[in-house]
Amino acid sequence: MQQYFVNGNAEQLVTIEDKDTIKHMFNVMRLTEGDEVVLVFDDAIKRLAKVADSSAHQFEVLKELDSNVEMPVQVTIASGFPKGDKLDLVTQKATELGAAAIWAFPADWSVVKWDGKKLAKKEDKLAKIALGAAEQSKRNRVPEVRLFEKKAGFVVSLSDFDKIFIAYEESAKAGELSALAQHLQTVQAGQKLLFIFGPEGGISPKEIETFEKAGAIKVGLGPRIMRTETAPFYALSAVSFATEMMGK
């Protein structure tokens, strides 16, 4: 069954106003009176609804659904600006894997340089990718997408998290394989976790020092060295295993 996110609060009769959503519902999926879909409002509760008036893009909410697929912890993925369209892939797959937010910042060793105008355009594109992935994976929430123009703004935001992990390839090279597993055993439901990933060139020593001063912990992600767009998927899978599949 198709699922759509709708801005606002749930009411008995809901009129869809977003043009992209209307196009997908009534032009692509050809919904008509009586067809049922799942609508998710700002409260993150899924509700079964049926088309009441296709010409007016109006739905009747039938009932709440007992379905919550969100992780018990909130995981933010933060990547140094990578090259090309790698953030597109990271945003899509991180959303499917349960990330609460996808961030990116201008790392010391980032090759790409995005100014405010390009950042706004890129952020809008990524937000649409996150929305589509959240609908496809039947999420209760759409992850936040945030691109920092200045690294200082990103550093200030580190204080918002309960645990911060730096995916550091030198730790993996040194054979460190247990730090992440050990720390994930202590994670409690409701906590906010941040994983920091470098761009293609990695994270600079100065950045490591800055992040560690904010309480970040260096961890290896297994014995193999992964690309910058692959590492976030490993981290999210590890968190899911530790907090969902192990029954935490």
Q: What is the pLDDT of residues 72-94, one digit of tens each?
A: 999 999 999 999 999 999 999 99
Beta strands in 107-242 (DSSP E): 144-147, 163-167, 192-197, 217-219
Work out the angle at residue 157's Cα, subtended by the Cα atoms of residues 179 and 117, and round it to the nearest 5 degrees.
Answer: 120
Q: In what order do the strands lie in the sheet with 36-40?
A: 3-5, 36-40, 46-53, 58-64, 13-15
Domain 74-245 has CATH 2.60.40.10: no
Residues listed for the chain: 248
The pLDDT score that the predictor gives to residue 117 is 87
Residue 210: phi and psi, rounded to 5, are -65, -45
Answer yes or no: are the C-beta atoms of 37 and 3 closer than 8 Å.
yes
pLDDT mean by block of 10 residues, the chain; 248 residues: 93 94 96 97 96 97 96 97 96 98 96 88 97 97 97 96 91 66 93 97 94 95 90 96 81
Domain 3-64 has CATH 2.40.240.20: yes
CA distance 248 to 234: 19
The full set of domain ranges for the chain reads: 3-64, 74-245
- Residue 124, sorted as left (phi over 0), alpha (psi -120 to 50) or beta, turns out to be alpha
The pLDDT score that the predictor gives to residue 183 is 92
The pLDDT score that the predictor gives to residue 116 is 83
